[in-house]
Amino acid sequence: MFKSIGDEISSVFGRDPAVRSRLEVALCYPGFHAILFYRTANWLWKRDIKLLGRFVSHLGRFFTGIEIHPGATIGKEFFIDHGMGVVIGETAEIGNHVTLYHGVTLGGTTWNTGKRHPTLGDNVVVGAGAKILGPLTVGDGAAVGSNAVVVKDVPPGHTVVGIPARVVDHGKKKLDEAHFAAYGTTTPDMPDPVSKAINGLLEHIAKLDTRIADLEGSQSDNNGSVTGIEKDEGDTSEKRADC
């Protein structure tokens, strides 16, 4: 147990440049505190002491602003940065080395029992304010941009942004390559999918304009040739009439 807690603390050092010591993490990081509450509540939940598990979870929400259902499944070295407003549903499944920022929701879209919350693979990064809704899967090494709304599966190693979320980066890193991307972005100039679509339409329109201009030029040349032929034929007919 103590080794697990030590691993949780150590994992913060590779993901937050503001951290200065292990003691600072233990005392001042609500994301770490929320994990301690969750581990305790989950231990009780698995032993069918569900009411007490929910109460411990509620205490964690009160002290940290992070709501994690004790029935959720969370892997090792899970890190919540800042934390306020994070909600993780009962049937959510989270892999190892996953990072969530504040305001993230792993929510359900149905009142039916059974699997209704997302599954996140290993090394996933979810940016601030993102919403991942329904029993979908976010693959290993994927990144979800800030304020994105994800309603369908995200392939491994891909980055999605927007509402609804669309793929903007097909991932050049290997899936077994540990990496960290701040706020779910891979580069500072991550393209916006809407702008990309508009630019594509503009390029297509420009190509169509060029083709229309070429066709009009060809038509003008053909008309000129036909007029010249008709004029020559008229001249020949006049000469024959004179004879």
Active site residues: 102
| Of residues 122, 115, 140, 120, the one with CA closest to residue 130 | 120
β-bridge pairing 159-161 and 131-133? unpaired
CA pair distance 95, 126, nearest whole angstrom: 13
Contact residues for 122 (Cβ-Cβ < 8 A; gap 6+): 75, 95, 96, 97, 98, 140, 141
Report the relative pairing of strands 73-74 and 105-107 from DSSP bridges: unpaired
Phi, psi of 131 (to 5 degrees): -125, 120
What CA–CA distance (Å, rounded) separates 51 from 238? 110
Element (H or E) spanning 159, and its range?
strand 159-161
